[in-house]
Chain A
């Protein structure tokens, strides 16, 4: 596993640079947060802040990687070359986002291997939306429209996150993500103007994904233990319920343009609130899936574990070759 001791300075305990009293460090940190300043990798930070960020950023990265699977499921069967190319590019982007995020997390003193171990052992979570199966080609478009749409709502505020590397990674991610949502929506638009079979495919996909996407924003604020501290630390900027409401309000008119019915009989405009009312989310199902008992949890994880295990010989070969090259260089120099 991880290297310990040797002659490594005890960097975890020693803050970079200055010796300040803990209160002074804490005060400086809080002051920076209060004025919407940025915390950078070498700045002192409370251990709880660091731990929260490592968890959140790495789980965000894992989500991108696991998210490649339900969509990757349709690359080989995409019904046109244009759609195939768009989908490969999207899944490749997601891999790239995972990379930016693992990179940001590593600035906090964790490593790619540590993070992957946590994922593969089941300790780390990833966005539970990816624990559902993609059963038709229309699912790909619906994921672009609704899942990426929900993700964008969550992610834009993160561009102002207090932790510099995370905020900067999110700026890159958001630029690319809005493109994905538009492409998904456009694919659905084309299908909804097509044959009855295509329209039925889209409606079926919407029926299966709508409620799951609403749950993506997380439980109601009253039931979210981590939210308050996240808000305090400038990691989380907007509450779950507010984001979910924004998403519903934005999506209803999009659904109308498409000509699909959102599967919620309680969904209606509330003139007094100036927002859409919507029905009850099945939180029991959400929690069961988050806890590991959804339709595809085991499959997603097993697939990632297999890829990692099967790839060990390749990673070892590259390292072995690099070492040989280094040794040859050293010999020549000597």
Chain B
């Protein structure tokens, strides 16, 4: 990676002036959206109150919508018969480039085949960490040299602001609510925070995207993300944990034990009818 590009997220002069972002980068963004869309939809019919059921379904729908636009764009550029569904349903775990944070089930740390009740605190804190990032990412991508991606970013930014607002408000309600909600919220923060470390280490796809002027150097967003997160955690009377050791590698295609189960459920029916139209 070029040192000068670290401070100019969308800068750098690329050999081809019409900066077109690589498919790998689009898939990273799309995989994030489809995996989180899948997780949030799991609350449908089970939410803590009807109003939240509707709110989360809304958030999930937005993510699926973003995934569709991004997969469609990637497929168009790949050609060779690729489609939004071939990308979402017929790639294996190792091909998925989503953040590990997003594939985790809605409960505290447990192995892939353990079962537990869903914890709304985990859902909310995860949505908050990711939402705080994506508001910054989509905002930067509205200035992408890739016009198609910039258009998707403009639409997604509005949605991301809405998602962040919803999640941040709830982080505060839970953190500064009852003793029980505070304990659950703190446990969720303690569990999930280290998964955000992955945000700041560029993947080859991101590096290539930044070089072409079409992507964003996420490391440059860290200070703003930290500020937003710290402000909300403080208002929520929650502590930010110290993080060390293992950094997840979901966007490099090395996932947790959970993605296999998630994709098995998501893809199984489609894969049972290869070539079918729905």
A230: chain B residues at CB < 8 Å are none
Enumerate B29-49 residues with CB–CB distance to A below 8 Å. Answer: 34, 38, 41-42, 44-49
Interface positions of B (Cβ within 8 A of A) = 34, 38, 41-42, 44-54, 57-58, 60-61, 64-65, 67-68, 71, 84-85, 88-89, 117-118, 120, 172-174, 176-178, 180-181, 184, 265-266, 268-270, 273, 275-278
B180: chain A residues at CB < 8 Å are 313, 316-317
Please state if B269 and A95 are interface contacts (CB–CB under 8 Å).
Answer: no
Binary contact track A105-142/B, C-beta < 8 Å → 1, others 0: 00000000000000000000000000000000100000
Please state if A317 and B64 are interface contacts (CB–CB under 8 Å).
Answer: no
Residues of A within 8 A of B (CB-CB), count: 48
Given contacts A81-B34, A84-B64, A187-B278, contact A317 B41 (CB under 8 A): no
Give the Cβ gap from A301 to chain B, nearest Cβ, in Å.
13
Please state if A317 and B177 are interface contacts (CB–CB under 8 Å).
Answer: yes
A80 at the interface (CB under 8 A from B): yes
Please state if B117 and A91 are interface contacts (CB–CB under 8 Å).
Answer: no
Q: What total count of A-B pairs have CB within 8 Å?
A: 138
A222: chain B residues at CB < 8 Å are none
- CB<8 Å pairs between A and B, sample of 20: A72-B45, A79-B89, A81-B88, A85-B61, A88-B41, A92-B54, A92-B57, A96-B54, A137-B278, A191-B278, A195-B273, A195-B275, A195-B276, A303-B45, A312-B48, A313-B178, A314-B174, A314-B181, A315-B49, A320-B178
Name B274's closest neighbour in chain A (CB-CB): A195
Among A72, A89, A91, A314: residue with most chain B CB under 10 A: A314
B64: chain A residues at CB < 8 Å are 81, 84-85, 88
Given contacts A85-B61, A85-B64, A102-B50, contact A72 B44 (CB under 8 A): yes
Give the Cβ gap from B146 to chain A, nearest Cβ, in Å.
22
A82: chain B residues at CB < 8 Å are 68, 84, 278
Give the Cβ gap from B64 to chain A, nearest Cβ, in Å.
5
Please state if A81 and B276 are interface contacts (CB–CB under 8 Å).
Answer: no
Give the Cβ gap from A28 to chain B, nearest Cβ, in Å.
36
B68: chain A residues at CB < 8 Å are 81-82, 85
Please state if B41 and A76 are interface contacts (CB–CB under 8 Å).
Answer: yes
A12 at the interface (CB under 8 A from B): no
B49: chain A residues at CB < 8 Å are 311, 314-315
Please state if B50 and A99 are interface contacts (CB–CB under 8 Å).
Answer: yes
B38: chain A residues at CB < 8 Å are 76
> Chain A: interface secondary structure?
helix
Please state if A65 and B178 are interface contacts (CB–CB under 8 Å).
Answer: no
B177: chain A residues at CB < 8 Å are 316-318, 320-321
Please state if B273 and A198 are interface contacts (CB–CB under 8 Å).
Answer: yes
A102: chain B residues at CB < 8 Å are 50
Given contacts A92-B54, A137-B269, contact A317 B178 (CB under 8 A): yes
A193: chain B residues at CB < 8 Å are 277
Please state if B181 and A197 are interface contacts (CB–CB under 8 Å).
Answer: no
Q: How far, in angstroms, from A194 to B180 measured CA to CA in the complex?
A: 52
Please state if A303 and B50 are interface contacts (CB–CB under 8 Å).
Answer: no
Binary contact track A44-62/B, C-beta < 8 Å → 1, others 0: 0000000000000000000
Give the Cβ gap from B143 to chain A, nearest Cβ, in Å.
27
Q: How far, in angstroms, from A83 to B89 measured CA to CA in the complex?
A: 13
Q: How far, in angstroms, from A279 to B32 measured CA to CA in the complex?
A: 52
Name A322's closest neighbour in chain B (CB-CB): B173
Please state if A190 and B278 are interface contacts (CB–CB under 8 Å).
Answer: yes
